Amino acid sequence: MEIGFIGLGNMGAPMARNLAAAGHKVHGYDVTGIEVEHVTPATTAAEAAATRAVVVTMLPDGEVLRRVAGEIIPFMDDDAVFLDCSTVDVATARAVAEDAVTAGLRAVDAPVSGGIAGAEAGTLTFMAGGTEDGYAAALPLFEIMGGRSVHCGPSGAGQAAKICNNLILGVSMIGVCEAFALAEKLELDPQKVFDVVSTSSGSCWAVNSYCPVPGVGPKSPADNDYQPGFAAELMLKDLRLAQAAAAQVHAETPLGAQAVRLYQAFVEDQGRGRDFSAMLPWLAGRDRTG
């Protein structure tokens, strides 16, 4: 299959590489000039997209997605699949999908979960929005780049599912970090705390699969000086997207709002460029007042 891939950053590069390794002819473009092994470089986004059966985008935000969509849609063949894997606001996802469908394309919004490690290993989870036909066309690529995909509903549903998932993740990671920071001050052995929590009612993904304590639980960014698997500023972005969506539909999300405030303070203080689980040493280094 001839595939265009636009956005070859930390997530996009390994995704494009996996598609190429599976035998697809991938034409890649990134505004920074990044080139990926076995991916044919293009000089513009339009060149990467022209005449391809599928065009995948992995972009930083909704503004960039709208701009890139405007550049590539006129060059895409009728009935081609526009597969956007960026994490953006629901309104942008729906607007871009509408433009693509109006131009005769099949549009799928499919943000991912699994971080850089999942992108490299090809074990991402894709949350897809769009028509059944579009999802079916994208499914073989999901099976190469990921371990699971779920068709969540019409255009925008993938983005909606992603922000709901990351709302849970952001809030739960704060709770886990608070608990381990408290345990440290109570002079508890963090391994013993993990042994209790991971098999008790406090069990959750942030403990069992991504424990923020170095040397405890399965290997995680905490064991690599909190080098990001999922950067704190990206978690902040997703939590803000969740709050914006909640405001649009008048949903009450008080823990989400507090999570935004905490991650904003963390990123502004020492979290930028670190994994979102580095919330633990940040909290542990603070003293309660009042």
Banded pLDDT at 287 (limits 50, 70, 90): confident
Tokens of 125: 């989870």
Model pLDDT for residues 34-88, shown as the tens digit of each residue: 999 999 999 999 999 999 999 999 999 999 999 999 999 999 999 999 999 999 9
Q: Return all residues near 234 (Cβ < 8 A) that are at least 6 apart.
A: 87, 228, 276
pLDDT at 290: 47
Residue 3 has pLDDT above 70, yes or no: yes
Model pLDDT for residues 82-135, shown as the tens digit of each residue: 999 999 999 999 999 999 999 999 999 999 999 899 999 999 999 999 999 999
Banded pLDDT at 200 (limits 50, 70, 90): very high
pLDDT at 288: 78
Burial of residue 287 (number of CB atoms within 10 Å: 0-12, 13-18, 19+): exposed
The active-site residue out of 25, 162, 219, 237 is 162
Domains of the chain: 2-153 (3.40.50.720), 160-285 (1.10.1040.10)
Model pLDDT for residues 12-38, shown as the tens digit of each residue: 999 999 999 999 999 999 999 999 999
Model pLDDT for residues 209-268, shown as the tens digit of each residue: 999 999 999 999 999 999 999 999 999 999 999 999 999 999 999 999 999 999 999 999
Whether the predicted model's global pTM rises above the 0.85 cut: yes
Mean pLDDT of 148-167: 97
pLDDT at 157: 98
The answer to whether the CB of 28 falls within 8 A of the CB of 80 is no
Residue 198 has pLDDT above 60, yes or no: yes
Q: Cα separation of 182 and 204, whole Å?
A: 18
- Tell me if residue 162 is catalytic: yes
Mean pLDDT of 140-169: 97
Query: How is residue 61 annotated by DSSP?
Result: S
Mean pLDDT of 266-284: 97
pLDDT at 64: 97
| DSSP letters for 177-219 | HHHHHHHHHTT--HHHHHHHHTTSTT--HHHHTT-SSTTSSS-
SS3 115: helix
